[in-house]
Structure 1
Amino acid sequence: MAVILIVEDEIAINELIKKNLQLVGHQCTSVFDGKSAISEIRSHPYDLIILDIMLPGLDGFEVFEKMKETPTIFLTARTSLSDRVKGLSMGADDYLTKPFEMLELLARVEAVLRRTQKNKSSFEVGAVRIDFDSRQVFYRDQPVECTPKEYELVEVLVNNRNIALSRDRLLELVWGYDYEGDTRTIDVHIQKLRKKLGWENVIKTVYKVGYRLEVNL
């Protein structure tokens, strides 16, 4: 997994981001102002920086100018198009505005790490290996036939491992917002994946919520 620096002056948001990134296996360091961010970046290598723009002292744009060789996601309460254009034109990899959903941040982190090749192109859970580049799943080194939706469900569970996902959220992430089916679709697909991949004890049912892929990190 990746080594990530979180630069966010709001303590509660900083801690929430850190907790969720650590849940999926990343190693995180938190700082709360621009000068501390620059000092940390100069002292230690990072795979990714999550950088708030509105910081005490040096703002996020000033910090980014001094370390733009490191992949960066801007995180800010500013919603104006000019700020977004400025951040991306400076070379930032992504830009997320507050308030945001944690699953969206996790997805964007995963996407940036994939693009910058800081994340592995495969992931193993017990006897199961998922190859993200070829969109293939292997069980005990043998390919498993998965429908497109089964594969997408596997990838969503892996990318959000150790996080409880509701059935409604899984429907949104895999089938899309305009899907007209019901949550029983998720239950059917989960049962199929458990059987195909031997994940009876890996995909946990979270009472009155949904499911969680439980992985020891």
Structure 2
Amino acid sequence: MIVPAKGVVGLHAEAVRENAEERKLVLVFFGSPNRDGTTAKLLNEFLKPLEGNTRIETVSAYERNIAPCIACNVCVGEERCSQPDFDDIDALIRAADVIVVATPVYNLSLPAPLKAIVDRTQRYFAARFSLGIRNPVEKHKLAAVLVTCGSKDCEGAQIIARQLKLAFSVINTSIAGMAVWPGTDFDEGRETFEKARNSARELALAIECEL
């Protein structure tokens, strides 16, 4: 048995930590209640090209159950939210290099738990327009929007993209692209999955080139 010289293991562990810190952070907001459904399948296709080269943190909207904005206006006077359940998400948003929103369409919009998270970005709107902080989030980010639609009509995906573009405008984030998988209620969208999968992978590769 080869015994490593004293300190080698510690140095290796330190190198692993440094390497993890150097990797770009991909923050995923997962909006489906189903961990193994079509939205998860599309998300996995997007993440495959990024595995090993990035650090991925996932916020599952249904598991976190973030409280909705209560319009208390604390953020109008101070750069904070009165509800602390969003604080760790705020830290992740500030640190992220890429933000991914993976969601199904519910009634032409986002599912309620994910909509609550998006609505809590009001703190950044207040910081920008009430407190006069030009960039409430300093680090620029790229975003990917991944949407699954039970309907073959993609109108809901376009509405979601408009909502997210507005929210992203105050967290220094630009949408790099969107991959949509329509018709999932029809035989699980098998006819449209390949196109959606290719779009998701191409989007991931394009973003990786920008990092």
TM-score, with structure 2 as normaliser: 0.33
**More strand by percentage:** 1
**More helix by percentage:** 2
User: RCO (CA 8 Å, sep 6+): is it higher in 1 or 2?
Assistant: 2
